Amino acid sequence: MSPAGVPTVLPMRSPLIWLPVGLLTVGGVSALTSGGPVLAVVAAVAALAVYWAVMRYVARRPAPELARHGAGREMLAGGAVGLGFVLVSVLVITVFGGYSFTWSRGLSAVLPVVAVAIGAAVTEELLFRGLALQALEEWFGGRVALAVTALSFGLLHLANPGATLWSSVAVAVEAGVLLGAAFLWRRTIWFVVGLHFVWNAAEALLGIPVSGHPSEGVLTAHVSGPEWLTGGGFGLEASVVPVVVSLVIAAAMLRRARR
């Protein structure tokens, strides 16, 4: 003990220990996702293993959020929410003349898009919802954890191609709040991974840029109209439409989480 009575060594169970260790190790593995489809899948598998090891041997706690029982069901349920979110948003924009689509590469585009989307969804959800949100929730409660992780997620996307302050705010609301609310409701990584994965994959297969990154999907999206409606070159996430849709879904999830 120090003279003031404060322990000189932090307990291993403290988020002050396992959070930075987890962010560094899982974050390091996530760098593989930029190496192409095969490495993206490898990164997803490795990130899950590293996350489990950090929780088991550093945090010294179980990881019920990685429970295998019901994992498939949770992923499917999350995927259904993600697909509905994208399709409703795209449909509204299309009805107002913002999007039109033509056939593009065909089914050869599916596997690369799916592989990259898996890598991004798994690694990002482990970092933001698995590690950061749970650590902040332990310290400050769910509301603060949700707000801080959502803001951080939006700021991270400020470095993406074509990003603006507005696109980062939109991503913070759409992805940060929605995915955080999904985790607080379901308490499983599998649900938020399913939501995130299907969101990105569906958007890319439609030929819409994913957070500023151009997509070569099954279809090619043709954009016309104001950027507040279409999202412009940044893609769907910079449109006002999915911001509104995501808030409706997130509000319902948070009500269920409180119950």
Span 239-253, pLDDT tens digits: 999 999 999 999 999
**Are 211 and 160 contacting, i.e. CB atoms less than 8 angstroms apart?**
yes
- Residues 205-246 have pLDDT tens digits of 999 999 999 988 899 999 999 999 999 999 999 999 999 999
Question: What is the pLDDT at residue 5?
Answer: 46
Whole-model pTM: value is 0.92
Alpha helix (H) residue ranges in the chain: 15-30, 37-53, 71-95, 110-125, 134-140, 142-156, 165-171, 178-186, 189-205, 227-230, 240-258
Q: Residue 40 CB: number of other CB atoms within 10 A? A: 24
